Amino acid sequence: MSPESLIDIFREALSVIVLIVSAIILPGLAIGLVVAVFQAATSINEQTLSFLPRLLMTLFALMFLGHWLVQTMMDFFFEMVNLIPVVIG
């Protein structure tokens, strides 16, 4: 197997990781930004105020996107299993 093929596999693995992590992190980031703007507008300097909405948004993202996340990981896993003979041989 050529080094280029292994680099392609590694690149695909990194793209799946970035896709899955960004699907979980970006909604929390957006809510955190909204809460930060609210805190700046009202001069509330409470650190724990932004924690609960971000936590809830992350849990909702996991709840609603969980099936898609698992399906994406399973598709990548099955693709890697199918590539075992190519990598070894």
Buried b (16+ CB within 10 A) or exposed e, 37-70: eeeeeeeeeeeeebeeebeebbeebeeeeeeebe
What local confidence, expressed as pLDDT, does residue 55 receive?
A: 93
- How many residues belong to the chain? 89
What local confidence, expressed as pLDDT, does residue 86 receive?
A: 84
The answer to whether residue 13 scores a pLDDT higher than 80 is yes
Give the chain's mean pLDDT: 91
Give 75-87 pLDDT, tens digit per residue: 999 999 999 888 8
Domain ranges for the chain: 3-88
Alpha-carbon span 41 to 38, nearest angstrom = 5
Q: Average pLDDT of 31-55?
A: 88
Give 27-41 pLDDT, tens digit per residue: 999 999 999 899 889
Helix/strand number for the chain, H first, E second: 3, 0
